[in-house]
Structure 1
Amino acid sequence: MRLEPVDAVRGPSHPPAGAGALRPAGLRGSVLWCPAEPDRPDFLRRFADEFRVARRHDGPDPGLDHLLRQPRTDPESFTVFPADAPLPDHADLRRVPLVEPAPLYAWSPARRESSRHLLGTLPRGFAEVGRARRRPEYTPGRDWLPGTGHPKPATRGTPGP
């Protein structure tokens, strides 16, 4: 299993698109673009509920270009995207790391029983790559995972939107 930080992805005209980092609570006035009905990608629904992003827009998921079209063309829209995944060069989008707390998406690779011998190697490889890029481990208070039960982050005095 790997915990992967997600960034906010927005178009260049989105007000704080040039920010170096952003707290998730700063997205409250924006529209979360979901690549499916909001109840299907549970992570996005829980993210929006936790940080009170009330405005959500959903649609079919025919691929990456479609996912990124809405945030690129609508100055109020954003989506979340894996921090390690490259955005297409032609997309004209801005990615802003989310911090305090940093939302982490948990995923795990599927494996065949015949590949059992990889179990020792694969997790070590994930850990090495994670350390080289961004945090691979969950730290309460610094990170956010759906359903962890820790208190909601403070919203008073939050810098920027």
Structure 2
Amino acid sequence: MDTEAVRSFVRAAELGQLQQAADELGVTQQAVSKRIAALERELGVRLFTRTARGVELTLDGQAFLPHARSIIAGVDRAVTAIRPGSRALRIDVLGLRSAQAVILHDYWRSHPETELDVVTLRVDDPRTAVAAVQAGDVDATFRTITDPAALPRDLRMIRAFDSPLELVVGPRHPLASARALTPPQLRGHRIWVPGIAPRSEWAEFYDQLTTEFDLRVDAAGPNFGNEVLLDTLADSADVGTLVGARDRYIWPTSYDLRRIPIVNPTIAYPISLILPRTAPHPGLRGIINHFGSLACLPETTWLPSWAATPRRGDGDITSHRR
């Protein structure tokens, strides 16, 4: 069924004049007449009768009108749902328990009028997420292209915030009683981070981290999810893992897991936001400004090479070093 023919029928029925309907729709009266005639042929009924004052609905037209209105309303909602600038702001996060999602939730709680669609692209290669921004599938992605020269010219990448890392261990781990740990204290301990994907930004992060502090990061085995990882930590006397301080994890109280900050220096994972260089979704402005309200990290913070110095954003959207 031609939805524009249905729309023409609805406006003609509401206005009682084909010419007025045509003027509203930006077409000729002849076009409206042809659309309605084609719709009548498809339905096999007469929808209008002509009068001296215009058109009036037949009984079939009266029966069809509320359904036709529903059809048009549904089409309009569908178009709005996918049109940049009018649909909800769609942002890709690495996971719904990640620091990125937590910060977006904090922002939304303060600005509940924001129409926000938080999605997770199941991809490890940041270039795939970048392609989704270019295609308009998402308005922005919390990913990092560690080589600025590899970022497409029609996109910009801003420094959103830096996420300090914590060590998570079970109650029998030798470091479980520590209130804070320095990177040298982690040496010799097995840090299990399963599923580090080659070519991912976090693979490069862990390569630099282990080289800098002579740490043992074990990426063996597939990633079966947070629940399996936490189960393993609770039962182990020698395995720990690294998580972001803002990452949200939930486990049974019987696990008695410990989250221990890393200090002197703090180890931080830099999180960037990639968005279109021109005409970004207007909802991004408030979220980007929100990054500036996040608490600053200590001066003694280790960051990987691509984020060792502050970055500046373009135009009136700037990045923030946290």
TM-score range, shorter chain: 0.7 to 0.9
2:230, 2:251 within 8 Å by CA — same for their partners in 1? no
Q: Is the 8 A contact 2:233 2:239 kept in 1?
A: yes
| Equivalent position to 2:291, from 84, 104, 126 | 126
Alignment counterpart, residue 82 of structure 1, candidates 244, 249, 256: 244
What are structure 1's unaligned runs of at least 5 residues?
151-161
2:180 corresponds to which letter in structure 1?
Answer: A
Q: Say if 1:27 and 1:53, in contact at 8 Å, map to a contact too.
A: yes
Residues in 2 aligned to 1:46 and 1:73: alpha-carbon distance in whole angstroms: 29
- 1:43-58 → structure 2 map (5 Å cutoff): 43-54=205-216, 56-58=218-220
1:12-161 matches, cutoff 5 A: 12-37=171-196, 41-54=203-216, 56-90=218-252, 91-111=255-275, 115-128=280-293, 130-131=294-295, 135=296, 139=299, 142-147=300-305
The secondary structure found in structure 2 opposite 1:79 is: strand
Deviation at 1:110, TM superposition (A): 4.9
Matched to 1:60, the amino acid is P
Residue identity matched to 2:281: R
What do the CA deviations read for 1:50-83 (whole angstroms, capped 9, x no partner)?
Answer: 2111362522123111232333222221111010
Aligned residues: 143
The structure with the largest helix share of the pair is 2
Q: Which has the larger radius of gyration?
A: 2
The CA deviation string for residues 69-111 of structure 1, in whole angstroms up to 9 with x for no partner, is 3332222211110101232131531100000010111112455
> Which structure has the higher relative contact order (CA within 8 Å, separation 6+)?
1
Distance 1:120 1:145, change over 3 A: same
Q: Which amino acid aligns with 2:189?
A: S
TM-score (norm 2): 0.40
Contact kept, 8 Å, 1:100 with 1:143, in 2: the verdict is yes
**Cα distance in 2 between the residues matched to 1:52 and 1:8:** 16
Distance 2:183 2:258 in 1: 16
Q: 1:69 to 1:31 in 2, by over 3 A?
A: same
If the length of structure 1 is used for normalisation, what is the TM-score?
Answer: 0.74
CA distance in 2, matches of 1:109, 1:10: 30
Report if the CA contact (8 A) 1:33-1:71 is conserved. no
Question: Which is worse superposed, 92-101 or 118-127?
Answer: 118-127
Q: Once structures 1 and 2 are overlaid, which stretch shifts more, 63-72 or 6-15?
A: 63-72
Specify the SS of the correspondent of 1:58.
coil
Q: For the Cα contact (< 8 Å) 1:21–1:98, is it kept in 2?
A: yes
1:9–1:96 contact (8 Å) kept in structure 2: yes
Distance 1:147 1:17 in 2: 30
CA distance in 2 between counterparts of 1:115 and 1:146 reads: 28
RMSD over aligned CA atoms reads 2.7
Deviation of 1:146 after TM superposition, in Å, equals 1.4
